[in-house]
Amino acid sequence: MLLDEDRQALMAPNGSTVLLTGMEFRLLRYFMLHPGQVLSKTRLREHVYDWDEDPDSNVIEVYVRRLREKCGKDIIHTRRGQVYVFRAPH
């Protein structure tokens, strides 16, 4: 799995291209830069937004769900307490 930064797209192992929105791209890029690390919603919000977002907002959950739909369900794991762990496909 590779990110095409020029086109803001994901290059899947099967050779297909998956276009991402700006937020999906920034979020996936951050996950890919921190594989295996526990990332809280707060930490993700701090690194993917250019502005202060409502801390009670579910925007991160929405984008994680979208990424799972585009990249596969097993790539981003949720741990109890609203934290996420990215696991790159083998």
pLDDT digits (tens, 9 = 90+) for 65-75: 999 999 888 89
Q: Is residue 73 part of a domain?
A: yes
Q: Is residue 60 part of a domain?
A: yes
Burial grade of 48 (CB within 10 A; 0-12, 13-18, 19 or more): buried
Q: Is residue 13 part of a domain?
A: no
Please report which helix (H) or strand (E) contains residue 79, including its range: strand 76-79
Q: Which domain, by its residues, includes 35?
A: 21-86
What per-residue confidence (pLDDT) applies to 51?
A: 62
Task: Kindly report, residue by residue over 15-60, the tens digit of the pLDDT.
Answer: 889 999 999 999 999 999 999 999 998 889 888 776 655 655 788 8
CATH number, domain containing residue 78: 1.10.10.10
Q: What angle do CA 34, 37, 38 make, to 5 degrees?
A: 125
What per-residue confidence (pLDDT) applies to 71?
A: 86
pTM for this prediction: 0.85
Q: Is residue 11 part of a domain?
A: no
Task: Kindly report, residue by residue over 49-87, the tens digit of the pLDDT.
Answer: 766 556 557 888 899 999 999 988 889 999 887 689 998
